[in-house]
Amino acid sequence: MADAMQGAAAPIEQRDEVASTNDVAIDAAYEGAPHGWAVSAGRQTAGRGRRGHVWASPDGSLYLSVVLRPNVPMQNIIALPAVCAMGAMDALHELGLVGRVGIKWPNDIVARVDGTGAAAFDHKLAGILAEARAGSDGPFAVVGMGVNVRPVQIESARASESDGVAAGPAPLTPVSLAELLEGRGEVPELSDLARLLRDAVVARVDAWAETVRSGGAKAGPLAPILSEYFDMVPMLGHQVAVLSPTGYLMNTGVFAGLDMWGRAIVKTRTGEQAYPSEAVSLRAL
């Protein structure tokens, strides 16, 4: 059984540069790295995001990957991205960012620089990627997090009307911890931030896994966390655009909720539609 104290005591290996912290952590897990083992770096040369997208890895950011061995049935691992996002939110709240950050379904961390309402959470602070594997010691997962610590510049391609399809909203503007914490507190050293994030994620995963093992996920893997997760998602209940993996606008409607398997429920003009995170992303309108 995963143990919270063991997870928090596991090493965090620090490197200046890697190809991908997730690849390092996956290799370490195959070699027996324990629950909570982590690797952090200040630069990646071959980072990746969800659905195979390139994960931009600019200087001024923290890249952290954590080995997770929650000891739950494999079908429940689908909830880990949401659980880990909640852990990242716990860490950011501890830094003083309550009300300034939220989860962009399913698991990225967005921030509000100014304004109010769901659409104000239009800056991206962190990306999260969870990958599940099966080793000789059973199934495990690695969660990777890329957090903008200092101001960064990222150029993103965008579909346009000239492509023959309706263009979706512009990509989210990056924002950094330094910008959000200006006048509120000090930006942690990278090693301290890595430990804060790792410990918060492990704590969330351990609490969720204990509930799953106790039978609390019979309705679905997200059942133990869904109510609290909703409170962290500013887009919930608001108009959203449904975008394809390539950024094309597929539909619009009200983000009405999630089912117990993490699919977004969007009320459109033609009725409710359920969208898995592997197929679409949502953007507030």
Domain spans, the chain: 4-231, 239-284
pLDDT band with cut points at 50, 70 and 90 for residue 57: low
Helix (H, G, I), strand (E, B) or coil at 173: strand
Evaluate if residue 262 carries a pLDDT over 80: yes
Looking at residue 5, what is its pLDDT? 53
Please, which residues bridge with residue 131 across strands?
A: 142
Fold of 4-231: BirA Bifunctional Protein; domain 2 (3.30.930)
Mean pLDDT of 106-135: 91
CATH, domain range 239-284? 2.30.30.100
pLDDT, mean of residues 129-138: 90
Of 128 and 2, the structure prediction assigns the larger pLDDT to: 128
- Predicted local confidence at residue 283, as pLDDT: 87
- Percent pLDDT > 70 in the chain is 86
- pLDDT single digits (tens) 236-245: 999 999 999 8
Distance CA 149, CA 127 (A): 12
List pLDDT tens digits, range 152-197.
Answer: 766 544 444 444 444 445 668 999 999 999 988 899 999 999 999 9
Q: What is the pLDDT of residue 193?
A: 97
Report the candidate in 39, 33, 23 with the shortest Cα–Cα distance to residue 137.
33
pLDDT attached to residue 110: 96
Round the average pLDDT of the chain to a whole number and report it.
88
Element (H, E) at 249: strand 249-258
Q: Which residues contact 278 (CB under 8 A, 6 or more apart)?
A: 50, 51
d(CA 244, CA 128): 19
3-class secondary structure, 274: strand
Nearest to 97 by CA among 232, 230, 282: 232
Q: What is the pLDDT of residue 152?
A: 79
Dihedral Cα 13, 14, 15, 18, nearest 10 deg: 60
Q: Sorting pLDDT into bands at 50, 70 and 90, what band is 36?
A: very high
pLDDT of 52 > 80? The answer is no
pTM of the model: 0.88
Do the Cβ atoms of 209 and 70 come closer than 8 Å?
Answer: yes
First CA to last CA distance, the chain: 43
Q: How far is CA 197 from each of CA 35, 51, 138, 203, 237, rounded to the nearest angstrom?
A: 15, 24, 25, 10, 28
Whether the pLDDT of residue 258 is over 50: the answer is yes
Indicate whether 254 pLDDT > 80: yes
From residue 148, alpha-carbon distances to 32, 124, 177 in Å are: 30, 8, 6
Longest dimension (CA), the chain: 55
Find the helix or strand (DSSP H, E) in which 204 lies. Answer: helix 190-213
Span 6-23, average pLDDT: 88
Classify each residue of 135-163 as buried b or exposed e, where b means 16 or more C-beta atoms within 10 Å of its C-beta: eeeebbbbbbbbbbbeeeeeeeeebeeee
Specify the higher pLDDT residue, 159 or 276. Answer: 276
